[in-house]
């Protein structure tokens, strides 16, 4: 009988480098297993994000055996072993103390028993270990839960969420990524302890929330709402769920509509965050007219102010915050709503920017998909027109910004334009001409125009 009662029939393909690390540790008298997410994902036929290894060797012992290692979290037992420029986290079997604000528990105790290490892990599907000698070590019936598509805590759910409240959000995140249901008892504990997510750092919340919203089943965000999770980590989403839209364009409340829009943009971080917040200000600007119809005037502009505040609170990077905010501000622009006019589209590309216009179009399309049929019919032809014009602009390098003018600030100075802000003004006036008549964007034609403009400055 094997030490951990592993299932030797179970075969998993592990990468050569992982096998090498396990072999080296075993050949030196230690135990070592691939563990956690990589085992789960391989069984599910998903590509693992990374391969983690758990071992009976102490960190110093691991370091002695490999040429290149990094002290990633040595006080928690983790050493990164570098093999062919790829890092593998090798962590000593451990029993965790209380978790604090960060990714690691306050104190850890090393142990020589794999099962003790598996016990500290959050869910049964994440608490399996594998190596070729022992087979699959599955002390908490993770395989059964994988087969039944269930997220279940290892041990007592309330106790486990009490140790680290982030696990509450992780449960929903895994359920969204894998399309699994959450076990009943685990769900009860989630509902009870959701308020304790308040103690978790924004960085940890953001990581899990981002994985949730870029996942296939991001509609589980509604599960998070129903369980009282978003109330703590994203109360703005609760406001959206509670904001009805009595207009002919909509058939969902703002929150449900938001989910539809998110589902219809690509699974890309920027697009999903942008879609999540595109209507975030609707609850704030909602009005009701004499006919009982709702209006949300100014919600895009207001949203472009509110969304960055939320994203900063979630400690998101500045580039994403800035781009998302620009997209939110323009998401309701309809440059062809008053007729099909190429100049209006050039002006729209100028205003929104060539760098993000494709993102804007993607968002507008997804926004249509989240509306009632009435809303879709009304603007769809116009949307197609805008797309075609945009393609034309891109294919033919049509100028929509001062940077793309055939003459530069330097040319203007050579023509006698005074230095300083007048150069900018002259370029703006030239762009104005070119937006009206793109064929004027040649050096010769713009020189003629520039001379006139400089005289009038």
Which chain residues interact with ligand ATP by CB under 6 A? Answer: 36-37, 49, 52, 121-122, 126-127, 164, 166-167, 211
Closer by beta carbon to ligand ATP, 164 or else 367: 164
Query: Which residues neighbour 237 within 8 Å (Cβ) at sequence distance 6 or greater?
Result: 221, 225, 230, 255, 258, 276
Residue 109's SS3 state is strand
Closer by beta carbon to ligand ATP, 179 or else 298: 179
Give the nearest distance from C-beta 96 to ligand ATP in angstroms. 8
The entry of Mg ion, ligand ATP, none that residue 69 binds, CB within 5 to 8 Å by partner kind? none
The entry of ligand ATP, Mg ion, none that residue 193 binds, CB within 5 to 8 Å by partner kind? none
The entry of Mg ion, ligand ATP, none that residue 122 binds, CB within 5 to 8 Å by partner kind? ligand ATP
CB 362 within 8 A of CB 261: no
Which residue has 């915050």 as its token pair?
321
Closer by beta carbon to Mg ion, 174 or else 225: 174
DSSP strands (E only) in 97-190: 108-110, 129-131, 135-137, 150-151, 181-182
Going by C-alpha positions, the residue among 40, 323, 366 that lies closest to residue 218 is: 366
Give the nearest distance from C-beta 379 to ligand ATP in angstroms. 38
Closer by beta carbon to Mg ion, 86 or else 457: 86
Q: What distance lies between CA 168 and its chain's CA centroid?
A: 18
Give the nearest distance from C-beta 111 to ligand ATP in angstroms. 15
Give the nearest distance from C-beta 163 to ligand ATP in angstroms. 8
User: What is the DSSP secondary-structure string of 70-84?
Assistant: EEEEGGGTEEEEEET
Give the nearest distance from C-beta 169 to ligand ATP in angstroms. 10
User: What is the DSSP secondary-structure string of 249-296?
Assistant: T-SS-HHHHHHHHHHTS-S-HHHHHHHHHTTTTHHHH-EE-TTS-EE-
- The tokens of 341 are what? 């006019």
Torsion of CA 427, 432, 433, 437, to 10 degrees: 130
Query: What is the contact mask toward Mg ion in residues 147 to 186, using x (rule: CB under 5 A)?
Result: ----------------------------------------
- The tokens of 414 are what? 């050579």
| Alpha-carbon distance values, 395 to 388, 390, 391, 392, 416 (Å) | 11, 9, 6, 5, 34
Going by C-alpha positions, the residue among 212, 109, 205, 121 that lies closest to residue 163 is: 121
Give the nearest distance from C-beta 37 to Mg ion in angstroms. 4
Give the nearest distance from C-beta 36 to Mg ion in angstroms. 7
| Alpha-carbon distance values, 428 to 349, 433, 450 (Å) | 15, 9, 11
Closer by beta carbon to Mg ion, 177 or else 348: 177
The entry of Mg ion, ligand ATP, none that residue 121 binds, CB within 5 to 8 Å by partner kind? ligand ATP
Distance in angstroms (rounded) separating the CA atoms of residues 244 and 119:
45
Closer by beta carbon to ligand ATP, 94 or else 250: 94
Which residue in 6, 25, 33, 37 binds Mg ion (CB under 5 A)? 37
Closer by beta carbon to ligand ATP, 143 or else 251: 143
Give the nearest distance from C-beta 161 to ligand ATP in angstroms. 10
Distance in angstroms (rounded) separating the CA atoms of residues 22 and 89:
12
The entry of Mg ion, ligand ATP, none that residue 278 binds, CB within 5 to 8 Å by partner kind? none
Give the nearest distance from C-beta 164 to ligand ATP in angstroms. 5
143-176 in b/e burial notation, b at 16+ Cβ within 10 A? bebbeeebbbbbbebbebbebbbbbbbbbbbbbb
The entry of Mg ion, ligand ATP, none that residue 454 binds, CB within 5 to 8 Å by partner kind? none
CB 124 within 8 A of CB 175: no
Closer by beta carbon to Mg ion, 49 or else 107: 49
The entry of ligand ATP, Mg ion, none that residue 59 binds, CB within 5 to 8 Å by partner kind? none
Closer by beta carbon to ligand ATP, 122 or else 138: 122
The residue whose Cβ lies closest to Mg ion is 37
Give the nearest distance from C-beta 441 to ligand ATP in angstroms. 49
The residue whose Cβ lies closest to ligand ATP is 37
The piece of 35-43, 85-93, 99-107, 350-358 that touches Mg ion (CB under 5 A) is: 35-43
Count interface residues toward Mg ion (CB under 5 A): 2
Angle between helices 318-330 and 299-313 (to 10 degrees): 160
Chain contacts with Mg ion (rule: CB under 5 A): 37, 49
């Amino acid at each position: 009988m094997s030490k951990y009662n592993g299932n030797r029939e179970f075969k998993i393909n592990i990468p050569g480098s992982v096998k090498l690390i396990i072999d080296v540790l075993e050949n030196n008298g230690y135990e070592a297993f691939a563990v956690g997410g990589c085992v789960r994902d391989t069984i599910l036929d998903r590509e693992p994000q990374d391969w983690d290894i758990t071992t009976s060797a102490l960190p110093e012992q691991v370091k002695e055996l490999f040429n290149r290692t990094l002290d990633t979290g040595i006080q928690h037992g983790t050493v990164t072993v570098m093999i062919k420029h790829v890092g593998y986290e090798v962590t000593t079997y451990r029993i965790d103390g209380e978790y604090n604000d960060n990714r690691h528990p306050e104190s850890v105790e090393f142990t020589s028993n794999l099962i003790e290490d598996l016990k500290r892990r959050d869910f049964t599907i994440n608490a399996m270990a594998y190596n070729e000698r022992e087979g699959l070590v599955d002390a908490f019936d993770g395989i059964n839960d994988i087969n039944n598509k269930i997220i279940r805590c290892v041990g007592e759910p309330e106790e486990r969420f009490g140790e680290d409240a982030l696990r509450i959000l992780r449960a929903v995140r895994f359920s969204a990524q894998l399309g699994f249901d959450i076990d009943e008892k685990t769900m009860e504990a989630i509902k009870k302890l959701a308020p304790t997510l308040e103690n978790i750092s924004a960085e940890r919340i953001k990581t899990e929330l981002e994985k949730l919203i870029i996942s296939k089943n991001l509609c589980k965000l509604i599960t998070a709402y129903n369980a009282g999770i978003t109330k703590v980590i994203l109360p703005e989403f609760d406001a959206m769920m509670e904001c009805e839209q009595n207009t002919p364009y909509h058939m969902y409340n703002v929150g449900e509509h938001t989910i539809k829009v998110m589902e219809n943009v690509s699974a890309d971080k920027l697009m999903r965050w942008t879609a999540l917040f595109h209507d975030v200000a609707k609850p704030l600007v909602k009005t009701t007219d004499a006919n009982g119809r709702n209006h949300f005037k100014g919600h895009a502009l207001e949203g472009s102010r509110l969304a960055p505040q939320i994203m900063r609170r979630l400690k998101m990077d500045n580039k994403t915050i800035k781009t998302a905010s620009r997209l939110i501000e323009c998401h309701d622009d309809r440059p062809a709503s008053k007729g099909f006019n190429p100049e209006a589209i050039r002006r729209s590309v100028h205003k929104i920017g060539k760098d993000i216009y494709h993102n804007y179009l993607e968002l507008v399309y997804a926004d249509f998909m989240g509306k009632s049929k009435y809303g879709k019919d009304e603007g769809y032809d116009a949307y197609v027109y805008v797309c075609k014009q945009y393609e034309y602009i891109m294919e033919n390098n049509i100028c929509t910004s001062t940077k793309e003018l055939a003459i530069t600030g330097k040319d203007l100075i050579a023509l006698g334009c005074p230095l300083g802000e007048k150069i900018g003004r002259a370029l703006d006036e030239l762009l104005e001409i070119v937006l009206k008549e793109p064929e004027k964007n040649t050096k010769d034609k713009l020189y003629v125009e520039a001379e006139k403009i400089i005289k009038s400055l």
